[in-house]
Structure 1
Amino acid sequence: MNFKNNLAFAREQDENDALKEFRKQFLFPNHKGKEFIYLCGNSLGLQPKVASEVLKRQLTNWANLAVEGWFDGEEPWMFYHKELKALMAPIVGAFPAEVCPMNTLTVNLHLLMVSFYQPKGKRVKIIMEGGAFPSDQYAIESQVRFHGYQPDDVIIEVFPRAGEDTLRTEDIIAKISEHRDELALVLFGGINYYTGQWYDMKQITQAGQAAGAIVGWDLAHAAGNVPVKLHDWGVDFACWCSYKYQNSGPGGIAGIFVHEKHFNDRTLNRFAGWWGYQEDKRFKMEKGFIPEAGADGWQVSCTQVMPMALYHASLKIFENAGFLSPLRDKSIALTGYLYFIINEVNKELNAEQFRIITPENPKDRGAQLSIIAAKNGKEIFDGLVANHVLGDWREPNVIRLSPIPLYNSFEDIYLTGQTLLKVCKATL
């Protein structure tokens, strides 16, 4: 696409956007009566307008049915998660039996590592991305200590080459090969939260498994953002939150994936709970844990009905949009336009004030661009917020901007560029 830095071009793109009506289904934050241009869906997605309705419906069920709501009504709570499974599966490229909504992200990461990090003999090491989100770092460190090892002896981090911002796939694969006889687990984030780099999940999964390791993914920044194919790629396990790109609300319910090849593996450890017990015998209250088939067998606590209702509301929007294929096409166009606009701002300033560290190639990124400000980064970010453009600041000098195809427009991108230029001229 030949981009143009003018409002007429942006509005023309929006007019021809097949997904433009979905913007009307979301609530935008505002300050002093003016809506923000919201570019922070990589941190917290916007609220669907239908969210209050679905939540009210479940509150009404609670009021009218009380405990009988578990089995009575149009949406009995006992089986409510099954409808979500059918909607979650296309988001991550899985079969419904391979996914389950439950808990929160880091809780699920711990539960899955109990099963899939089983150090034995020489195979005790974990390879992960350097600079992973702290929750992953802390979870992995504590799991290593739980097994009696020291993190510095067991955890191998892969960092970008000197002078580079992102990881090369060949360097990740080389590190896997170097430690192939010592590896128990390869565990990466699908998209790096800081740089916005989308890792080559297929190649890394294949390399890790060829080395004899289990391969898992934290999809916090990938699920609902980019098209992943967990089943086809043979990924062993994955987990994700749903409150970023999937708009389920702050602290919304998370999800897990377990490949069907592991369903009948009785050697897997797990921290069990009543809700993961075999469903048709659950109420016999018998000793001896027998897991429900599939990913449901990793459940511990009972269905979180209200968070599930909010997640369900957003997943129905994804279903109506055709899931991720049309959204991905628009996402590539939006980030491509933002890339162009940032460079146009640099031209206007006659300086490289902003350097984009997110890969330029669309196949290597999702909806987020991470931008390093050469000077006065925090002051510029605060200026954007003051002028009703809401992105995200990350220390020491990165502004993250994430146009979401369900509710952001090309006009949002153009106006962001104009605001950025205005703030820079007043700040620098």
Structure 2
Amino acid sequence: MSPAPASARGHADVAIIGAGVVGVATAYALARRGYHVHLLDRAAGPALGASFANGAQLSYAYTDAMAGPALWKQLPGLLTGRDPSFRARTSLDPDYLRWGLSFLRNATTARLHRNTLSTLELALESRAAMDALLDRHPIAFGQRTAGKLHVYYSADALPAARTMIALKRERGMRQRLVDPAEAISIEPALAGASGMAGVVYSPDEEVGDPWAFSNGLLEVSRNHHGVDCSFGFDLKQLRRDGTSWRLEDAEGRITTARDVIVCAGIDSGRLLRPLGIRVPVMAVKGYSFTAPCGAAAPSASITDTARKLVFCRLGDRIRVAGLAEVNDWDPSPEPSRVQDLVALARASLPEAADYERVTSHWAGLRPVTPFSTPIIGQVAPGLVLNIGHGMLGWTLAMGSAERVAALFPPR
């Protein structure tokens, strides 16, 4: 059934801009507390952007910030394009330069640890919120506890990995460093990975399809909590009108709400600039492909830290996600980069997937802050942000939604 025009839906308590997994989770959190929520997105349905075909891993333990001391060794390859996994498009744009300088300022050991633990706290809140949701509404999205193995190919990286394990253990996370032989006993598919130096094993990590989850949660929110939705709503103007907000799309449709929550991912900066609000969120383009399981498909999730790949099993399919292209704002997948991703995956785990039968490929823009933690909070009267989740939007969505809901008075 096509959604009714926004102008036909009346005045809402809260309008939420963006129906990715973060926006859908936020709509649920507010509506469950008795707020009349109107969810808007320019796409034809929920979770069709960065949430659609991401790595599918609920990485509650692996919240390591993107910027750290290792970045300095990677920087020449990043800037010159020599690293096939991690690239940057240089620019003299002031926003890009400000973001880049802030990102480099966060590439210290102290800030890496601080930012990682800050995100870990939110991840733990998110896991608790997800468990509570599924106790109330058993949404089917292929969720399972798969465990995760982070594979390191250089012994030089292991001391830093041990430090991270120790930091996270203090917060109750179960992680341990295992040798290659034990890693293979945990996940036999790793027998196809040559040159392993050590592996971090996180047994409690989960997987699930974020697109299926978003659709399921939205159905719950509409049927049980009265959430209104307007898809195909390409927002062109957002302005304060007295004590309310006025939202108008490209076709002249108008809706109003007392409060607005921006969950628009990488589009948030463009929407907020006319209000004089600038946010440090950068597009980091990533890719994925999905293929039938191969002869040695892993059951656990696997991260190849050298090639910056994740392998995630979803039923009889394998999803492989990777590549990071900083300052690429075009969500269209480039065929050559899809080929690069397939080649990297084949080199990493040759029999994990049937690489000759890739069924789908995808690219999406991850909204990354320089400090790798999302921006959650009120920035103007009646205007709240829930943006900048980077590679962990799927993991952090439920916890972020709860933090936003806590900003609103109880009903």
TM-score norm. by structure 1 comes to 0.25
Which structure is larger by alpha-carbon Rg, 1 or 2? Answer: 1
Structure with higher strand content: 2
- Higher percent of residues as helix: 1
